Structure formats: structure tokens, C-alpha cells
Amino acid sequence: MQRTESPLIVIAICLAALAGFVDALAFTSLGGFFASFMSGNTTRLGVGLGANLPGDAAVAGSLVMSFVSGVILASVVTRWRQARFRESLMLVVTALLVAAATVASLMPGPIVLIFLAMAMGCENGILHREGEVTVGVTYMTGSLVKMGQKLAGALMGDPDRWAWAAYLFLWLGFIAGAVMGAASHARWGWQALWLAPIASAVLAFALLRMRPRLSGPVVVH
């Protein structure tokens, strides 16, 4: 991310931390399903089908569809809002997290995950613009691959010897969020989920304040 504006790098790390927080709450609360890690849910779907566990397969499949729905929603909002797409998407993510926290307070269960997965799918559109390759902030496999590639490049003498560091910090952000999510759940249970929309609202405000300084997406090099 050599040419990425530094404020957006910070936002990307914060978004990764939010995804880690939400994913940890979902995983610890609802039987090992994920809000943002769709590879894991796809594995659960396959295992559910292969092991004749239709309930698990239904939950996993619903989460994948909800995540994709969030991505579609993000694309629609991005085209609609254009210049203000980042803060608009952050507000949509906040609204979905508020809905998830409200449902969790009234009737905890798998329905909470539907809102969480949709929010995480939508979150991936915040650092995106059509035609550009962007950072995925809710899943870390791509970041780890890029980090390894950049480390290899540094070892082979590439000019930018520290290009891998941004991907490391993105991964560390996700880990930090997951640690906070697990610790918060252990202390407050489902009520800890209210911390997610609060953090999301703070990020929306930050994006609003930063908008005049931001001219492009977070581009992965």
C-alpha cells in the first residue's frame, strides 16, 4: 500500500479491528459460526451437508448469503452516494450493527448473525472504488499472502523494504479486535455487542471529518 494515504491506512486497521471484534463475539456466542470469515462458514456449510447436519448447513448458508447481500448493498450505496460513499456506507454498517445489538438484547440467537454478516459484507465496500483492487478488511488470508509476497520482495532487494508492514498491522488490528471481542463477551455477554455500533459510529464521524483530505481508495500494490 505504498501510495495509500496514511489516514485511510489507519481507518483500514480500525475496520479490521471492528471485524475481529464482531467475529469473536459471533464465534463465541453462536456455536462456532462467523460473522465475517466466509471461508469458515463455507467449510461449515460443506461439513453440514456432508455429515447430514442440515441445521448447521442452513445457518452457514444463510450467513454466506447475508454477507453477499451486504456486499451488494455496499455497491448500490457507493454508486448512489459517489463522493460521500465512505461515510454513507459506515452509517449503513452502524445501522446494521445497531439492529444486531437490539435483536441480541431482546432474543439472542442465530438471527443476530444475519445482521452481523450483512454489516461485515457492507464494511468491505468502504475502502473500495470500482475498477480498483482494494484491501479486504474483514478477512485476513489475502493480507497474509500479500505480507508474505512483500517480505519475499524485501529479501530479494525490492526498493520498498517495508511494504509488508501495512499488511502486518492490518492483521494485528484484526487480532486485537478479536481479543477485545472475546474478553468483552466473557464479561458482558451479548450486551458487549453494543460496543460495535458505538465504534462504527466513531469511524463514520472520522470519515466525515477526513473527507476533504481523501481523494481515492485504499489501493493494494
- The mean pLDDT of 145-172, rounded to a whole number, is 87
Q: Comparing C-alpha atoms, which of 140, 112, 191, 141 is closest to residue 20?
A: 140
Task: Say yes or no to pLDDT of 43 above 80.
Answer: yes
Can you tell me the distance from the alpha carbon of 173 to that of 179, in angstroms, rounded to the nearest whole number? Answer: 10
| pLDDT tens, position by position, 105-140 | 888 778 899 999 999 999 988 876 544 445 677 778
Residues 6+ apart with CB under 8 A from 19: 35, 36, 120, 123, 137, 138, 139, 174, 177
Residue range 92-116: mean pLDDT, rounded: 91
The 8-class DSSP code of residue 16 comes to H
Contact between residue 48 and residue 55 where contact means Cβ atoms under 8 Å apart = yes
**Residue 6: is its pLDDT beyond 70?**
no
Percentage of the chain modeled with pLDDT above 70: 88
Q: How confident is the model at residue 17 (pLDDT cuts 50, 70, 90)?
A: very high
**Interatomic CA distance for residues 4 and 22, integer angstroms:** 26
pLDDT at 23: 93
Sign of CA dihedral 110, 114, 117, 123: negative
* pTM of the predicted structure, to 2 decimals: 0.86
Q: Which pLDDT belongs to residue 124?
A: 87
- Give the whole-angstrom CA distance, residue 79 versus residue 73: 10
**Of 28-37, 92-101, 136-145, which range is least confident?**
136-145
pLDDT digits (tens, 9 = 90+) for 164-207: 888 899 999 999 999 999 999 999 988 999 999 999 999 999 88
Burial environment of residue 66 by CB neighbours within 10 A (0 to 12, 13 to 18, 19 or more): buried
Catalogue all structural domains in the chain, each as residue range(s) with its CATH number. 11-210 (1.20.1250)
C-alpha closest to that of 136 among 152, 121, 150, 148: 121
78 — pLDDT class (breaks 50, 70, 90): confident
